[in-house]
Structure 1
Amino acid sequence: MSSTTNNNTKSTKIDQHAPLSSLLPPPQIYSVVSRWLEDDIPSHFDVGGHVVGNTMQTAQLWMKSPGVLAGLPFFEKVFDVCGGCTVNWEDVAQEGSKLDASSSNKVLLATVTGPVSHLLRGERTALNTLSRCSGVATLSHQCKQIAVARNWNGLIAGTRKTTPGFRLVEKYGLLVGGCATHRLDLSQMVMLKDNHIWSAGSITNAVKKAATVSGFTQKIEVECQSLEEAMEAAEAGAHIVMLDNFEPEKLKLDAAVLKKKYPHIIVEASGGITMESMTDYFDENVDVISQGKLTQGYDCVDFSLKIVH
């Protein structure tokens, strides 16, 4: 097999204070990965598995496009669930590393050893996961670097626009890339959007009703379309105010007014913001900029898993 070795690969490690893999409870990962494999594994016979048999073989994991490497715990768990497989990572394969790979400069990341039918059953699920998690991490890292270069100290966050069944991976990729997850699910934080407000009759009614059951441990966020709505939300007891679909200059003016009267309020800017446009929203009175595209519009990173022969 002709390829370059990873001895000369340019690798940049993203600074992280602790391994993020410790966030992932093993039983939860096992359950999630098992569902992925059940979706992909044949319901009756695996004819391809019969063709190759169960002899022990080794496969090599290659990275073939540049990006931030993310999702190693999920990759490992796929082959753990498949049974009888072990993953041995190369030194260059560090979670959060930015690797300069390409189709002509492939980077060897790992070798996976196990019964060949098991390797091939896990192959596509493992690659899909690694490719997408790395894609989210790469785009998140790019956005974070823009914020750092402009000396903006707020948070860039994803949204709940995640792929059904794949939320854990995409949220994890955000963290590896240096961005915030936003709320993980409907239970983690209360977000009152336009439909909630219309159904409740007013922002005040919606916030007050949410506060009666959310207790002191949950924050309440309100999606607002105007400064008047933002002021009402803050007055009603919201902890976070989202200024949604504001033009940048209007957002900055209204955020300043809101912060002056309610300095404790977290101000979030959202609505159609992309990596290309987000610098227009950087402001000392804006605490969070959220982007749905971080988990809905990312490019996948290219990997392959090849049996050694």
Structure 2
Amino acid sequence: MPVTEGAPVHGNPAHLLPPSWRKHITLWLEEDTPSFDYGGFVVGDDPAEARLLAKSQGIVAGVPFFDEVFRQLDCSVDWQVKEGEEVGVSEKKQCCAIVRGPVRNLLLGERVALNLLARCSGIATKSHEMLTLLRNAGYKNTLAGTRKTTPGFRLVEKYGMLVGGCDPHRQDLSAMTMLKDNHIWACGGSIPSAVAAAKASGGFAIKVEVECQTEEEANTAIEAGADVVMLDNFTGDGVKVASKNLKDKWGRGNKARALIEVSGGLTAENVQDYVCDDIDVISSSSIHQGTKHVDFSLKVVPKKAAGGKLGNGESVET
């Protein structure tokens, strides 16, 4: 069963992608082959088949990107697994998909497609692992990523978070106004002035979040009209005390004046220390920054595979 079942996104995450996303694939293909395709000249364009093998355990994410690489190269992809499904559990080299098309084009798209799938799947896997850890610890609210993404690759990384069951947080600077310490200092240190300016420019549709170093700053931000306060770099015990006090003062549930987010150095090793019912959002860049890739390979099946073996000795059996 795909891990997105019951997660923040119901339905197909691919339906969230903007019309412009395919342009990224075109640019990445151009980057990988900017001039002559010497290897393609060697193999020609006879029809061929390649098998996508999962060589490590993880969650498959990035199917639309993988498919688009090969669509642009006039190849077809027949998936044997679903996006969000865990692979590599019972089989060392599980066949996840079969790609068909001119052999030259299969090899043209191979590395771009694998890089996209491996990175996106790694983020989905890490996101799901941390979310599962929090759920087992009793946390019922939202786990989110951050804006600490790779320039030019944010869409893929945010997509991986969604497939893993997490909230991607704000997509960019235009999605929400987040007033960090630098913003406050640049406004003369006045949280109310910064919030007022943000509200005036963003109007009713843009939420305002304020990064707070103390409970006092959080109270000031909520009183000024902040929609979300982020308790930044608190200790686990400090978060539990501050969040309770803030909820007692400003309300809970539908009556809450603001959401409370916790962030700053949170990883799988320490996040359980921060679990409490008064925290609405836990955000962590550890679910997408420096995550381990899921290992995939794409193996072309020779026309005559002697003994059911590929040219490098790997089995073509699925």
The answer as to 2:78 corresponding to 1:88 is yes
The answer as to 2:206 corresponding to 1:215 is no
Counterpart-to-counterpart distance in 1, 2:31 and 2:192: 44
- Any idea what SS the aligned residue of 2:147 has? coil
**One-letter code aligned to 2:139:** W
User: 2:214 corresponds to which residue?
Assistant: 226
Counterpart-to-counterpart distance in 1, 2:12 and 2:218: 38
Counterparts of residues 33-182 of structure 1 (less than 5 Å): 33-41=25-33, 43-81=34-72, 83-90=73-80, 93-101=81-89, 105-182=92-169
How many residues get paired?
292
Query: Shift of the alpha carbon at 1:297?
Result: 2.4
- Any idea what SS the aligned residue of 1:181 has? coil
Query: Shift of the alpha carbon at 1:29?
Result: 2.4
1:261 to 224, 249, 269: 249
Q: Is the 8 A contact 1:30 1:77 kept in 2?
A: yes
Q: Is the 8 A contact 2:127 2:288 kept in 1?
A: no
Aligned residues: CA RMSD: 1.3
Counterpart-to-counterpart distance in 1, 2:115 and 2:298: 11
The answer as to 2:278 corresponding to 1:291 is no
**One-letter code aligned to 2:235:** E
User: 2:232 corresponds to which residue?
Assistant: 244
**One-letter code aligned to 1:66:** Q
Counterpart-to-counterpart distance in 1, 2:221 and 2:30: 45
- Any idea what SS the aligned residue of 1:125 has? helix
Q: Is the 8 A contact 2:74 2:101 kept in 1?
A: yes
- Any idea what SS the aligned residue of 2:20 has? helix
- Any idea what SS the aligned residue of 1:31 has? helix
**One-letter code aligned to 1:245:** N
User: 2:192 corresponds to which residue?
Assistant: 204
Unaligned runs of 5+ in 1: 1-11
Deviations 1:110-146 (A, max 9, x none): 1111111211111001000100111001111111111
Counterpart-to-counterpart distance in 2, 1:287 and 1:241: 10
Counterpart-to-counterpart distance in 1, 2:166 and 2:122: 13
Identity over aligned pairs, percent: 50
Q: Is the 8 A contact 2:130 2:287 kept in 1?
A: no
- Any idea what SS the aligned residue of 1:77 has? helix
Query: Shift of the alpha carbon at 1:101?
Result: 4.0
**One-letter code aligned to 2:290:** G
Counterpart-to-counterpart distance in 2, 1:285 and 1:111: 47
The answer as to 2:269 corresponding to 1:276 is yes
Query: Shift of the alpha carbon at 1:28?
Result: 2.1
Q: Is the 8 A contact 1:63 1:101 kept in 2?
A: no
Could you state the TM-score of these two structures normalised by the residue count of structure 2? 0.89
User: 2:22 corresponds to which residue?
Assistant: 30
- Any idea what SS the aligned residue of 1:62 has? strand
**One-letter code aligned to 1:182:** H
1:194 to 144, 169, 181: 181
Deviations 1:154-206 (A, max 9, x none): 11110001111111111111111111111011111110111111111111111
The answer as to 2:177 corresponding to 1:184 is no
Counterpart-to-counterpart distance in 1, 2:262 and 2:191: 18
Q: Is the 8 A contact 1:64 1:101 kept in 2?
A: no
1:20 to 13, 19, 22: 13
Unaligned runs of 5+ in 2: 303-318
**One-letter code aligned to 1:242:** M
Counterpart-to-counterpart distance in 1, 2:296 and 2:79: 14
Counterpart-to-counterpart distance in 2, 1:100 and 1:40: 28
User: 1:8 corresponds to which residue?
Assistant: none
- Any idea what SS the aligned residue of 1:214 has? helix
Q: Is the 8 A contact 1:159 1:183 kept in 2?
A: yes
Counterpart-to-counterpart distance in 1, 2:52 and 2:142: 34
**One-letter code aligned to 1:28:** S
